[in-house]
Amino acid sequence: MKRFFYVKLALSNIQKNRRLYFPYLFSCIFMVCFFYLIYSLGMHKSLKANGSVHALLSLAIGVLHVFSVIFLFYTYGFLMKKRKKEIGLYNILGMEKKHIAKVLFFESLWLFLGALVFGLAAGLLLNKLMYMLIAKLLQFETLLFYIEIQAILNTIGWFMGIFLFLFLYQIFQIHLSHPIELLKGDRVGEKEPKTRWLLTLIGFVSLGIGYAIALSVKSPLAAVGLFFVAVLFVMIGTYALFTAGSIAILKGLKRNKRFYYQINHFVSVSGMIYRMKQNAAGLANICLLSTAVLVMFSSTTSLYAGINEIIRDRYPADTMLLSHSLANEPKQQEKLEQLVQQAAQKENISISETLSYTYYSLVAQKKDNYYTLNPNQNNVDMTTVQSVYVISLEDYNRIEGKNVQLEENAVLLFSENQTDEPNTIRIENQIWNIQENLSDFTLTKYLREPAFVSDYLVVDSFDSLGVLSNLDVQLQYEYGINFNNADDEKIEEFNQSLKHLLKKNMGKSSDVDLSSIAGEHTSFYQLYGNLLFIAIFLGMLCLFATVIIIYYKQVSEGYHDRLRFEILQKVGMSHNEVKQTIRSQILTVFFLPLLMAIVHISVAFPIITKMLRTLSMSNVSFFLLCTVLSVLVFSLIYALVYFVTARTYYKIVKS
Amino acid sequence: MTLLEVEQLKKIYTTRFGDRQVEALRQVTFSVEEGEYVAIMGESGSGKTTLLNILAALDRPTSGTVFLNGKNLTMIKESELAAFRRNELGFVFQDFNLLDTFSIQDNIVLPLVLSGKMFLEMEERMLPIAKKLGIQHLLDKFPYEISGGQQQRAAVARALITNPKLILADEPTGALDSKSTNQLLQLFSDINEEGQTIVMVTHSTRAASHAKRVLFMRDGEVFHQLYRGHMTVEEMFEKISHTLTVLLSGGGKI
């Protein structure tokens, strides 16, 4: 009988506090469901076999472990603050702390069971859907569906651990406190926050540094490294500005008496100071989570949707032949062309165009039109490292259909990101005059390293490059073939028979290497599909966290504002005026993070564009479109969440 | 001149599910002259608070009228109520009702800000009042930093700053210690001496003994009244105590 009393009391507590508990329970269910789904995917036999997919899923599982702990503790904190009064009352009514512990234990148990049952049920229901989604994204045929018992057990184990910790944490808190303190709960007299100039300064400076990095990066390879540095600075800046900067600004407004003592500003400014004090960290969290969602969604969707373009970018020709030994052997080159035609005839595939050229590919550090070759990787500024391709005038004239003559000791230059037009150029200790700075260059499509910016030099003859003979650089020959509407399968057949012919006719020592677009689609879909999947998954997680944080913020704001609302009305503010000032404050508080997130992503746009270049995504306008769409969709969801939760808020304030 | 005229006031509350009606005010009629200091006494449930809420235009009567300075309170439009309350009435509450997000100065000038006054004017009006109430050194403090008595004086300052026709006080001494209570009652007497009309609801005999007239309420009706005349506070105190004893022991006429 007595035991049932606690069990029932716990259950009725949850029901009575449903405004607080149901969202918490809902987030627990959500976390359990997600946890199980990702775990079962991570343990799936066919996905385990694929290295890159498995690695990314493992990463997601790791993130999920950390996230679930932080998130559940965070939301539980909200809940506990609101319930302190009730627990204090139990204590005063004569319940000992061990009895309260008992009630709390059963509450935790109920919540745990609820989260587990509903979460796993939802997980199992969505399991099949999840398999279909990932199979679709990765362009797998189908994914064998089976229920992974181990995933269920691991989920149960992990959440049992979290709930146990939460329970112990509560007990610890209750043990420390006195009943009177518990009764007062969240209404401990609040001091007006002080202006923290140093932190404000740190905020502005680190946000400035972060933004400056994001905006100034030129080389794609440097972008990858610097991005995380920039992110770190922006994170610090965001937290500092939300906590200290906002209050510094508001207090500045307050000091301006003519501004402050006006109906519209008076209540809002002083109210905002307190709101920001209580909510700064939460709002900074919302801001950063939103930014993360936007960055992930925009970049992965643009990668996934632009997959064909990316592949074309990386494989300018359907099939590409590469050789060092053929570079100086015109006879052998002719023989190779014949073999290609032969293979095409045999496989009945029609060649639309071919392109051949010989070139040097160099990695150099460029400074004031002075190239230093083979820079020492360790102590070099990566932003100045780039590729230099040297081709012959003969190939240039043939490919471009021109008839350019070069003067003595002169070259043509095409530079990908140079605005000035230099007159001379120097490689190591050899100097050339630049006869012309070219404005376009067909071979940029073929000769490029996505991570680097490239320069192209056209020289009269490779013999004049005395400087290179001392170095260990080899001339290369490339032969590109494009077909008339051929599918991957057809191209693959051609490739096989060409390989066969090459082996038979070019001798064993032949170093001709064949690379082809055929088969690449699958691997690209697997990589980018997986990235998109992870982004969707992490994005949903962040979005959900954002929603829950907004909800709890609204609820706790509501309880705080209720008293203020009453007093203002008694002192002579009309109902509508009160409603208006409160609405404007709430709107500011909740849309500030979104606004800031949009500013963040706008500034991050250039650096992300450069990072995407290392993944062969160079269509900036398409990425812009994806970003704008992501921002629009996200803002819409955000606004929707706001309006739904705002209703709860008004209900609390009015009651 | 009659400042406040209450006639045949009746208020019936319907319980939440509408199955039971509670008559909070049965039939209340009285009037207050300009410059008067009236205390309304009564037990819990006698209808004091309902009456005060109606006087404050926070609630509307079921029937009856309230005239303040010749204006019918029950006929004022909803949109003008807030401004009316701000300009014509000053409130002092039991639990002070200061906003903890404002400094004492800002709390005091709040009604003026709501009326759209310039800051210079606010300062001009606030400083003498703050000085008179002895809180001029507390202006930059926040409510939680000062004592209850000081908070209540700040609340009085807030009530006075608009030069209201009438001050309505709801158990103003309810949350104060005896020293602060005496100070506050002295303050009320002083501002009344200067011509301020005050209506105070209380069930403290001490508080009521400072008033010039005491109305006794029971079961939603004004039951009895006492004039102070030339009595001292102590004599008034005894008279009220005596009256209460008789009233409570169920006596009819006194």
Q: What would the DSSP string read from start to end of chain B? A: -EEEEEEEEEEEEEPTTSS-EEEEEEEEEEEEETT-EEEEEE-TTSSHHHHHHHHTTSS--SEEEEEETTEEGGGS-HHHHHHHHHHHEEEE-TT----TTS-HHHHHHHHHHHTT--HHHHHHHHHHHHHHTT-GGGTTS-GGGS-HHHHHHHHHHHHHTT--SEEEEESTTTT--HHHHHHHHHHHHHHHHTT-EEEEEE--HHHHTTSSEEEEEETTEEEEEEE-TT--HHHHHHHHHHHHHHHHTT----
Average pLDDT of the segment spanning A58-73: 87
Structure confidence at residue A54 (pLDDT): 80
Structure confidence at residue A287 (pLDDT): 92
Structure confidence at residue A605 (pLDDT): 93
Structure confidence at residue A520 (pLDDT): 78
User: Does residue A51 belong to the interface with chain B, where contact is any CB pair within 8 Å?
Assistant: no
Mutation pick from B84, B109, B114 vs chain A, by most beta carbons of A within 10 Å, is B114
User: Which among A257, A270, A570 has CB closest to B101?
Assistant: A270
pLDDT per residue over A428-486, tens digit each? 777 888 888 888 887 877 877 766 778 888 888 777 776 666 667 788 888 888 888 77
Q: Which of A626, A524, A517 is nearest to A138 (CA)?
A: A524
pLDDT per residue over A402-438, tens digit each? 888 888 888 888 887 766 777 888 877 778 888 888 8
Structure confidence at residue A596 (pLDDT): 94
User: Does residue B236 belong to the interface with chain A, where contact is any CB pair within 8 Å?
Assistant: no
Structure confidence at residue B133 (pLDDT): 87
Q: Tell me the C-alpha distance between B57 and A134, whole Å.
A: 65
pLDDT per residue over A292-322, tens digit each? 889 988 999 998 888 888 887 778 888 888 8
Cβ within 8 Å of B, A 263-282: 263, 266, 270-271, 273-274
User: Does residue B142 belong to the interface with chain A, where contact is any CB pair within 8 Å?
Assistant: yes
Which backbone phi and psi does A352 adopt, to 5 degrees? -90, -40
pLDDT per residue over A599-643, tens digit each? 999 999 999 998 888 877 878 889 999 999 999 999 998 898 888
Structure confidence at residue B104 (pLDDT): 92
CB contact under 8 A, B109 and A261: yes
User: Which among A258, A571, A577 has CB closest to B110?
Assistant: A571
Whether A75 and A282 have beta carbons less than 8 Å apart is answered as no
Please list the pLDDT of chain B residue by residue as tens digits (254 residues): 888 999 999 988 877 666 778 888 888 999 999 999 999 998 877 888 889 888 888 888 889 999 988 888 888 887 788 888 888 888 888 888 888 888 899 999 988 888 888 888 888 999 999 998 889 899 998 888 888 889 999 999 999 998 898 999 988 888 888 888 998 999 999 999 988 999 999 888 988 999 999 999 888 888 888 898 888 888 999 998 988 888 777 655 55
Structure confidence at residue A3 (pLDDT): 61
Mean pLDDT score across all residues of chain A: 83
Q: Tell me the C-alpha distance between A415 and A426, whole Å.
A: 14
Position A208 pLDDT exceeds 90: yes
Distance between A204 CA and the closest CA of chain B, angstroms: 27
Nearest C-alpha in A relative to B84: A572
Position A378 pLDDT exceeds 70: no
Whether A527 and A342 have beta carbons less than 8 Å apart is answered as no
Position A82 pLDDT exceeds 80: no
User: Does residue B34 belong to the interface with chain A, where contact is any CB pair within 8 Å?
Assistant: no
Nearest C-alpha in B relative to A562: B99
Q: What number of C-beta contacts closer than 8 Å exist between A and B? A: 68
Residue A539 per-residue DSSP state:
H
The identity of residue A232, as a single letter, is: L
Residue A24 pairs with which residues in a beta bridge? none
Whether A416 and A409 have beta carbons less than 8 Å apart is answered as no
Apex A173 CA angle, A171 and A175, nearest 5: 65
User: Does residue B109 belong to the interface with chain A, where contact is any CB pair within 8 Å?
Assistant: yes
Average pLDDT of the segment spanning A318-342: 85
Helix axes A488-505, A330-347, angle to 10 degrees: 130
Whether A189 and B144 have beta carbons less than 8 Å apart is answered as yes
User: Does residue A504 belong to the interface with chain B, where contact is any CB pair within 8 Å?
Assistant: no
User: Which among A192, A567, A572 has CB closest to B142?
Assistant: A192
pLDDT per residue over A222-231, tens digit each? 888 889 899 9
Structure confidence at residue A379 (pLDDT): 66
Structure confidence at residue A575 (pLDDT): 77
Q: Tell me the C-alpha distance between A576 and A363, whole Å.
A: 69
